[in-house]
Amino acid sequence: MAVGKISEGSVYYDKPSKINNFLSRKRMKPIKVGLLGLGTVGYGAFRVLARNQEEIQRRAGRCIDVTKVAVRNVERAGKLVDGVCEVTDNPLNVVMDPEIDIVVETIGGDDPTLELVLKAIDNGKHVVTANKALLAVHGNEIFTAARKANVMVAFEAAVAGGIPIIKALREGLTANRIQWIAGIINGTTNFILSEMREKGLDFDVALQDAQRLGYAEADPTFDIEGVDAAHKATIMSAIAFGVPVQFNKAYVEGISKLSSIDIKYAEELGYRIKLLGITRRTDIGIELRVHPTLILAKRLIANVEGVMNAVLVHGDAVGATMYYGKGAGAEPTASAVIADIVDITRLHTADQENRVPYLAFQHDALSSMPVLPIEQIRTSYYLRLRVADQTGVLAEITRILANQNISIDALLQKESREGEPQTDIIILTHETQEKFINSAISCIEALDTVFSQVTRIRMETLS
């Protein structure tokens, strides 16, 4: 089989005979892959593997064969795979198959996925998964089982879809003491926020648009309430700092309560609001949080719009690095899944000690650094208050902030409408601890001259 061309434009390709010689020298037993699920991700991987077979084989050094897929709808899957591999409706036929080397899990959720993944591991299969929820919640159990069974568990597709952020964190940045990560890691919410800002839409209308376009699910809760982003931030945090996965300690706040007026005021002050997954190393522990965040509009990451994802990683040696791309979709996710399959193919004969550790750090070198409760994080804040437009109101509010040792960075008072004795005040603070801002907000809300609750949005300088 001829592979490549002698030359094409200015690009030089190796002679076909040379490549064929290389492949025949490497004529090793194919790696056999079993797929659990043939939905968007599973079928995407199947298709890209078939389409780029030769290119992938030249990289992996051996053939990668999908030999079996387990699906609920055998008839539909039969048509999709068109006789290329066996189709079964029993996932145990994949995870127990002695011929299969790698099980690729693309079902999602944790029931029955956790059981299937653990069974596959018990049976000596390497596992590739795109399942962030599974890893963020059950990762420690899965990695312990995998270590015992001497198999690899790879999960590039679990965070930011096609962006190779796991590879970057685990390998490319391995020299660094990573200081913080901040990412737009949920495309659905980023699309909604872009729509709200660009078209001045309210959240509910933008969500309906996202659903109509197929970006948001019929039940969008996991995306809009920040849970999906928190799963991904949890995984990145573990890899960046060498701690176990601790989803239950993450602070999670979504965008469903975000008002378009705050997006507008933020813009007037030179900021954009993004749903960020943030994890940061501090002297007293790790911050792990997902929430709407004001970022200076001139920052590159503030200009990531629509369904795109981007992750900023700050390491002590390299400084800030940024990774951008599609965080979802059949082929971007397949790109990550197949990268994992190739990694496993290259390394599966290596000793455990010579493989890349699951969480980037050796298992006996994981740290017990605590994840901090949200009251202990330090950041700056945007506050919006509806107040009586009368003498002394601002003075009272600034006194409360001063009592909590909170310094004001900027202040904007909107002109009150004629005949209306109320107005909006927007305050940007310097960095403080969350517990101090909470105390200040309680005191401010108790004032007779302050109407309704104070809106509070965290801000990040990302510098």
Q: What is the rounded CA–CA span in Å between residue 379 and residue 57?
A: 48
Measure the CA dihedral 82/83/85/86, to 10°.
110
Residue 232 catalytic?
Answer: yes
Give 134 or 328: the residue with its C-beta nearer to ligand HSE.
328
Among 125, 132, 232, 274, the active-site one is: 232
Rounded-to-integer distance, Cα 164 and Cα 266, Å? 32
| Cα–Cα distance for residue pair 227/91, rounded to 1 Å | 27
The span from the CA of 284 to the CA of 186, in Å, is 28
Minimum distance, C-beta of residue 186 to ligand HSE, in the bound complex (Å) = 4
Between CA 151 and CA 144 the distance in angstroms is 10
Which residues contribute to the site for ligand HSE (CB under 6 A)?
186-188, 223, 228, 327-328
- Identify the bridge partners of residue 291 per DSSP, sorted by sequence position: 276
Contact call for residues 191 and 164 (beta carbons, < 8 A):
no
Measured from the CB of residue 146, what is the shortest distance to ligand HSE in angstroms?
22
Residue 283: both structure tokens together: 């002297």
Q: Closer CB to ligand HSE, residue 223 or residue 340?
A: 223
**122 vs 331 by CB, closer to ligand HSE:** 331
d(CA 108, CA 97): 21
Closest to ligand HSE by CB, 187 or 357:
187
Decide if 138 contacts 114 (C-beta within 8 A). yes
Residue among 101 and 223 whose Cβ is closer to ligand HSE: 223
Comparison of 216 and 401: residue with beta carbon closer to ligand HSE: 216
Taking the complex as a whole, the smallest distance from the CB of residue 62 to ligand HSE amounts, in Å, to 31
At closest approach, how far in Å is the CB of 163 from ligand HSE? 11
Query: What is the C-alpha separation between 337 and 164, in angstroms, rounded?
Result: 10
Burial (CB count <10 Å: 0-12, 13-18, 19+), residue 282: middle
Q: At its nearest, how many Å lie between ligand HSE and the CB of residue 225?
A: 12
- At its nearest, how many Å lie between ligand HSE and the CB of residue 185? 7
Angstrom distance (rounded) from CA 327 to CA 256: 21
Closest of 286, 274, 263, 285 to residue 312, by C-alpha: 274
Residues assigned a catalytic role:
232
